[in-house]
C-alpha cells in the first residue's frame, strides 16, 4: 500500500525529492528509500550510526518529521549542494571593490542552492560624494540592479532560480526610492524587499513626529515619520511589497544579541541572520500527531510530540556537520553557533481535527500551548546534546540567558541551560512549507489556514492522455473518510473567509515561542480600505510580531486562486465536493493548436562573435482573438556543430508555443543560461551564452508583436485565455512547469502544480 495520501504527493516526491541519476534513472525506488537515505546520512556523525539511523527513519516515516526540501533532496546523494536553506551574506562594504566581492560571494552561494539576504543600508546614498574620483555615488538601488541581473544567470541547485531578500533601514536617505522600486514590474524581479523598521521610527509614527534620513552621521533629509510610513503602506497596498521587519524587536529578542547584530533576513523572512549567518529548516507535521480526530476526545499526542521534537533536533544538529557550504565563512558561522530552525506544518488541519476554528481566540491559545511545548522539548533536547557533545562554541550563560527571548523561557529550562549549556544557539522557526506540505499529503502549510478544501487539476500523463484529479486538504479527506460526503462543520474555515485580524492573532500567538521568526502571509480582501490595511500592520506591531507581510489581490499584483462558494452558503457548506477555482475548473494544459496553411512571421540573423556561421531564427505567429502570439520557431545554421541542439530547440520551443498560454517563460529560461567558457559582448551588451542570445531574439520578437510589454516584462494580457478555457480565470504561468497555478503562499508566488517558488 502506498505511503502517499494523495496522487499529487507522490508526484511531488518524484519531481523534487526522489534521488535519480543524471539520466533520470531512479535510485530511490520508493519513498521508504528516500527516508532511509536521509536517516543513514544524518546518522553517520553518531558514535552508534545504526541505532540513530533507525530512530531517524522512524521520525521520517509517515511524514511525521519533514526536513526542508534541500535536506530531503540532497542528504545522502554525495552531491556538492548545501543542505542549508537560508543565508545572509556578509556586510557590504561601501566601496566598489568590496561591493563586487560581495556579488561574487552571492553568486557562489546561489550556485549551490542557497537563498540569500542582504542589507543594502551600508552603501552610501545616491548623489553622495565619492572620495578621490570626483564623482557622485550611484546609490544602493543601482547595485541592487546588478545583483538582480546576476541572479537571473544563476540556476540555483540546478533547477531553482536564486532567491534574494534586500533590506534597507528606515532612516537611510534612499529609503523612499527603495520603497517604490518594485512599482516598476521589470525591476528587481529576483528580489523580495523589506524595510527595517526601528522602535524609534514606530514611536515617531504614532506621535506624528519628524524623522531624519542619515548616513555616516550626516543628515540628508528630514521627513514626517507618518508620511514615510504611509508611503511604505501605499506601496505594499498597491504592489504587495515592501514587507516590514521590526528589526529592533528582533535584535532585542535574539538569543545571541551579545555576539551579533542582525540587519537582514533570508528571502522568506523567517530567519533573521547575522553576516554569513546560515540556518537549516525542518517541520513537525502536527496533522499526523492528532489522536481521535473530529471526536470529543481529539487531542495532540504530547508524548509523541516531545519524542519527535527531540529526535528532530538531533537530526538537524547533525546536518550542521554533514552539510557542505558555499563559503568557508558560512561554515565557520554555522559551526560557531549551530543555529537551527524547527517549525511546524499542518497546524490548521490539527486545529480542525480538534474542532477549533482557525483565527479564533481559542485556536490562538491552543497554538500558543502547542508551540510552547515544542519550544520546551527543543531546548531541553539541545541541553541534553550539550551534555553529550558540548555547547555551541560561542555560548556564554550570562549573555545568552539575558536575551529577550530567554527571559521569557520557563525557569527549569533556564536552570538546565545555565548548568549544562546548550548545543544550538537558536532552535525554532516557522518556514514556508508549501512543497513539503503537498508531499506530506496536502496538509495545511506552516501555520497558514487551509487554502482550499479541495480543487481539481488536469494532469498530462506520460501516454499523452489527460486525467482529472481532485486535490483535497488532508483534514477534509480525513473527514470524508470518517463521515462520508456530508457538509463540513462551521469551524472549517479557509484563507478566503478569514479576516486579516484573525491572521495577525495567529501569527502573534505563534511568535511568543519562536526564537527566530515566522513566514506568514496575511491575506487581505481586494476591497479593504487603505486605513484598515494600515491597521493590520499596527495590530502586528502592537501584538508583538517581528514583522508583517500582507497580500492584497488587485490588477497589479494579480489575483490569487480563490475557492468559489455559493452566495447563500454558510461557512463550510457544500465544501466536501470538489471546488472550482474562480468559478471554473483549473486547466493545466491546452490541446496543441492546429497549424494553419499559412502564417506570418519574421526571420532574424544572429551573429555570435568568433563563430564562422550566423544563426537564423524564423518565428511565425498565429492570430487569435485579434491578437498575435508566437506559434513556432525554426533555428538554422550552416555550422554542423550546431545542428543537434538547434534542431532540439526548434522542436521543443515550437511544442511549447503550440500549447498556448503565457509562454514568455521560454525567454526567461534561455536568457538565464550561461556558458562556463564565457559569453560575449553583442551591440554593447554582455550576453552570457549563445542560448541567451537566442532568448533575447525571441523576446524582442514578442515585444514587437505586442505579446510582451517590453524587454524583461510580462504579458500585456493572455491572448490564449479564451482558447484554453473560456470560463476560468487563472493565476500566472509557472516559470518551471508552465501551468497556470501560481498563488501567493507565505509571501511568495508558489505553483500548486509543481511546488516551484522563487523563495525556496
Cα–Cα distance, 760 to 758 (Å, whole number)? 6
Residue 491 falls within a domain, yes or no? no
pLDDT higher than 70, residue 1: no
Q: pLDDT, tens digit, for every residue of 184-205?
A: 877 888 889 999 999 999 999 9
**pLDDT in the model for residue 395:** 98
Q: Are 621 and 720 in contact (CB under 8 A)?
A: no
Residue 97 falls within a domain, yes or no? yes
**pLDDT in the model for residue 568:** 28
Residues ≥6 apart with Cβ < 8 Å to 131: none
Q: pLDDT, tens digit, for every residue of 209-258?
A: 999 999 999 999 999 999 999 999 999 999 889 999 999 999 999 999 99
3-state helix, strand, coil in the chain (%, to 5): 40, 20, 40
Residue 342 falls within a domain, yes or no? no
Mean pLDDT of the region 600-606? 88
**pLDDT in the model for residue 454:** 86
Residue 457 falls within a domain, yes or no? no
Its domain, for residue 638, covers: 600-724
Please identify, among 216, 235, 253, the residue that sits at the C-terminal boundary of a domain.
253
Residue 344 falls within a domain, yes or no? no
DSSP assignment letter at 125: P
pLDDT higher than 90, residue 428: yes
**pLDDT in the model for residue 745:** 61
Proportion of the chain above pLDDT 90, given as a percent: 55
pLDDT higher than 70, residue 665: yes
pLDDT higher than 50, residue 644: yes
Residue ranges with strand state E in 587-731:
600-606, 615-624, 627-637, 680-682, 685-687
Q: Which residue has the higher pLDDT, 619 or 149?
A: 619
Q: Are 607 and 519 in contact (CB under 8 A)?
A: no
Cα–Cα distance, 672 to 692 (Å, whole number)? 6
Residue 520 falls within a domain, yes or no? no
Q: Coil, strand, or helix at residue 760?
A: coil
Cα–Cα distance, 583 to 576 (Å, whole number)? 16
Go through 276-300 and write b for each residue having 16 or more CB atoms within 10 A of its CB, e for each that does not.
bbbbbbbbbbbbbbbeebbeeebeb
List, edge to edge, every strand of the sheet that includes 627-637.
600-606, 615-624, 627-637
Note if the bond before 242 is cis, omega within 30 degrees.
Answer: yes
- Dihedral (CA of 86, 115, 119, 536) sign: negative
Residue 101's alpha-carbon distances to 93, 116, 150, in angstroms, are: 9, 15, 13
- Dihedral (CA of 593, 594, 596, 601) sign: positive
pLDDT higher than 50, residue 717: no
Q: Which residue has the higher pLDDT, 14 or 59?
A: 59
Go through 129-146 and write b for each residue having 16 or more CB atoms within 10 A of its CB, e for each that does not.
eeeeeeeebbbbbebbee
Residue 310 falls within a domain, yes or no? no
**pLDDT in the model for residue 739:** 54
Residue 551 falls within a domain, yes or no? no
Give the cell for residue 724.
484554453
pLDDT higher than 70, residue 464: no
Please identify, among 203, 238, 253, the residue that sits at the C-terminal boundary of a domain.
253
224 membership: H or E segment, kind and range: strand 218-224
pLDDT band at 578 (very low <50, low <70, confident <90, very high): very low
Give the cell for residue 614.
550566423
pLDDT higher than 70, residue 555: no
**pLDDT in the model for residue 168:** 97
Mean pLDDT of the region 560-571? 34
Q: Are 599 and 632 in contact (CB under 8 A)?
A: yes
Mean pLDDT of the region 722-748? 49
Q: Which residue has the higher pLDDT, 136 or 449?
A: 449
Residue 210 exposure: Cα atoms within 13 Å on the Cβ side: 6
pLDDT band at 451 (very low <50, low <70, confident <90, very high): confident
pLDDT higher than 60, residue 725: no
Q: pLDDT, tens digit, for every residue of 484-506?
A: 988 899 999 988 789 999 999 99
Q: Considering its fold, how many domains does the chain have in total?
A: 2
Q: Are 156 and 168 in contact (CB under 8 A)?
A: no
**pLDDT in the model for residue 574:** 30
Go through 591-621 and write b for each residue having 16 or more CB atoms within 10 A of its CB, e for each that does not.
eebeeeeeeebeeeebebeeeeeebebebbb
**pLDDT in the model for residue 760:** 52
Q: Which residue has the higher pLDDT, 259 or 672?
A: 259
**pLDDT in the model for residue 682:** 73
Bridge partners for 245 per DSSP = 196, 547
Catalytic residue IDs: 266, 268, 270
Amino acid at each position: 500500500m502506498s505511503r502517499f495520501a494523495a496522487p499529487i504527493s507522490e508526484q511531488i516526491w518524484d519531481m523534487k525529492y526522489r534521488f535519480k541519476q543524471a539520466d533520470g534513472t531512479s535510485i530511490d525506488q520508493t519513498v521508504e528509500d528516500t527516508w532511509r537515505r536521509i536517516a543513514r546520512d544524518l546518522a553517520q556523525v553518531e558514535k552508534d550510526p545504526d541505532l540513530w539511523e533507525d530512530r531517524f527513519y522512524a521520525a521520517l516515516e509517515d511524514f511525521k518529521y519533514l526536513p526542508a526540501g534541500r535536506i530531503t533532496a540532497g542528504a545522502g546523494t554525495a552531491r556538492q549542494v548545501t543542505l542549508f536553506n537560508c543565508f545572509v551574506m556578509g556586510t557590504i562594504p561601501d566601496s566598489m571593490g568590496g561591493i563586487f566581492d560581495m556579488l561574487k560571494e552571492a553568486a557562489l552561494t546561489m550556485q549551490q542552492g542557497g537563498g540569500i539576504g542582504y542589507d543594502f543600508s551600508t552603501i552610501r546614498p545616491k548623489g553622495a560624494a565619492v572620495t578621490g574620483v570626483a564623482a557622485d555615488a550611484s546609490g544602493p538601488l543601482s547595485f541592487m540592479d546588478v545583483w538582480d541581473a546576476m541572479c537571473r544567470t544563476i540556476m540555483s541547485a540546478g533547477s531553482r532560480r536564486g532567491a534574494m531578500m534586500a533590506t534597507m533601514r528606515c532612516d537611510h536617505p534612499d529609503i523612499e526610492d527603495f520603497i517604490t522600486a518594485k512599482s516598476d514590474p521589470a525591476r528587481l524581479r529576483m528580489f523580495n524587499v523589506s524595510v527595517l523598521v526601528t522602535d524609534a521610527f514606530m514611536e515617531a509614527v504614532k506621535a506624528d513626529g519628524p524623522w531624519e534620513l542619515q548616513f555616516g552621521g550626516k543628515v540628508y533629509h528630514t521627513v514626517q515619520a507618518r508620511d514615510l510610513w504611509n508611503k511604505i503602506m501605499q506601496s505594499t497596498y498597491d504592489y504587495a511589497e515592501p514587507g516590514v521587519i521590526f528589526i529592533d524587536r528582533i535584535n532585542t529578542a535574539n538569543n545571541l544579541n551579545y555576539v551579533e547584530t542582525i540587519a537582514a533576513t533570508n528571502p522568506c523572512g523567517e530567519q533573521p541572520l547575522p553576516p554569513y549567518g546560515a540556518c537549516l529548516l525542518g517541520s513537525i507535521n502536527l496533522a499526523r500527531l492528532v489522536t481521535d480526530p473530529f471526536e470529543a476526545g481529539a487531542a495532540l499526542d504530547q508524548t509523541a510530540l516531545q519524542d519527535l521534537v527531540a529526535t528532530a533536533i538531533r537530526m538537524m544538529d547533525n546536518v550542521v556537520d554533514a552539510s557542505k557550504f558555499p563559503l568557508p565563512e558560512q561554515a565557520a558561522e554555522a559551526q560557531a553557533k549551530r543555529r537551527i530552525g524547527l517549525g511546524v506544518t499542518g497546524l490548521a488541519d490539527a486545529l480542525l481535527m480538534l474542532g477549533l476554528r482557525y483565527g479564533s481566540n481559542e485556536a490562538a491559545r491552543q497554538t500558543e500551548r502547542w508551540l510552547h511545548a515544542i519550544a520546551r522539548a527543543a531546548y531541553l533536547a539541545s541541553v541534553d546534546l550539550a551534555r553529550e557533545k558540548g555547547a555551541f562554541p560561542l555560548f556564554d550563560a550570562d549573555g545568552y540567558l539575558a536575551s529577550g527571548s530567554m527571559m521569557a523561557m520557563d525557569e527549569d529550562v533556564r536552570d538546565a541551560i545555565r548548568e549544562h549549556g546548550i548545543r544550538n544557539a537558536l532552535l525554532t522557526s516557522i518556514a514556508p512549507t508549501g512543497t513539503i506540505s503537498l508531499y506530506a499529503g496536502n496538509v495545511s502549510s506552516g501555520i497558514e489556514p487551509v487554502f482550499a478544501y479541495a480543487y481539481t487539476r488536469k494532469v498530462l500523463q506520460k501516454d499523452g492522455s489527460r486525467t482529472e484529479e481532485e486535490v483535497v486538504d488532508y483534514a477534509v479527506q480525513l473527514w470524508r473518510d470518517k463521515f462520508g460526503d456530508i457538509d463540513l462543520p462551521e469551524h472549517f474555515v479557509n484563507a478566503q473567509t478569514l479576516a486579516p485580524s484573525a491572521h495577525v492573532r495567529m501569527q502573534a500567538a505563534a511568535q511568543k515561542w519562536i526564537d527566530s521568526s515566522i513566514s506568514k502571509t496575511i491575506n487581505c480582501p481586494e476591497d479593504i480600505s487603505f486605513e484598515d490595511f494600515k491597521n493590520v500592520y499596527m495590530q502586528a506591531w502592537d501584538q508583538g510580531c517581528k514583522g508583517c507581510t500582507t497580500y492584497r489581490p488587485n490588477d497589479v499584483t494579480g489575483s490569487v486562486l480563490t475557492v468559489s462558494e455559493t452566495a447563500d452558503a454558510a461557512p463550510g457548506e457544500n465544501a466536501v465536493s470538489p471546488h472550482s477555482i474562480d468559478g471554473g475548473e483549473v486547466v493545466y494544459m491546452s490541446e496543441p493548436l492546429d497549424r494553419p496553411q499559412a502564417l506570418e512571421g519574421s526571420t532574424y540573423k544572429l551573429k555570435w562573435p568568433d563563430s564562422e556561421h550566423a544563426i537564423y531564427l524564423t518565428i511565425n505567429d498565429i492570430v487569435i482573438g485579434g491578437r498575435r502570439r508566437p506559434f513556432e520557431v525554426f533555428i538554422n545554421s550552416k555550422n554542423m556543430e550546431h545542428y543537434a541542439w538547434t534542431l532540439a530547440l526548434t522542436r521543443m520551443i515550437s511544442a511549447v508555443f503550440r500549447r498556448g498560454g503565457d509562454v514568455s517563460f521560454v525567454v526567461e529560461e534561455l536568457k538565464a543560461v550561461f556558458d562556463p567558457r564565457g559569453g560575449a559582448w553583442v551591440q554593447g551588451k554582455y550576453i552570457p551564452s549563445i542560448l541567451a542570445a537566442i532568448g533575447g531574439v525571441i523576446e524582442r520578437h514578442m515585444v514587437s508583436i505586442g505579446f510582451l510589454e517590453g524587454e524583461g516584462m510580462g504579458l500585456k494580457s493572455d491572448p490564449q485565455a479564451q482558447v484554453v478555457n473560456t470560463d476560468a480565470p487563472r493565476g500566472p504561468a509557472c516559470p518551471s512547469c508552465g501551468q497556470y497555478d501560481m498563488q501567493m503562499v507565505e509571501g511568495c508566488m508558489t505553483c500548486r502544480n509543481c511546488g516551484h517558488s522563487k523563495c525556496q
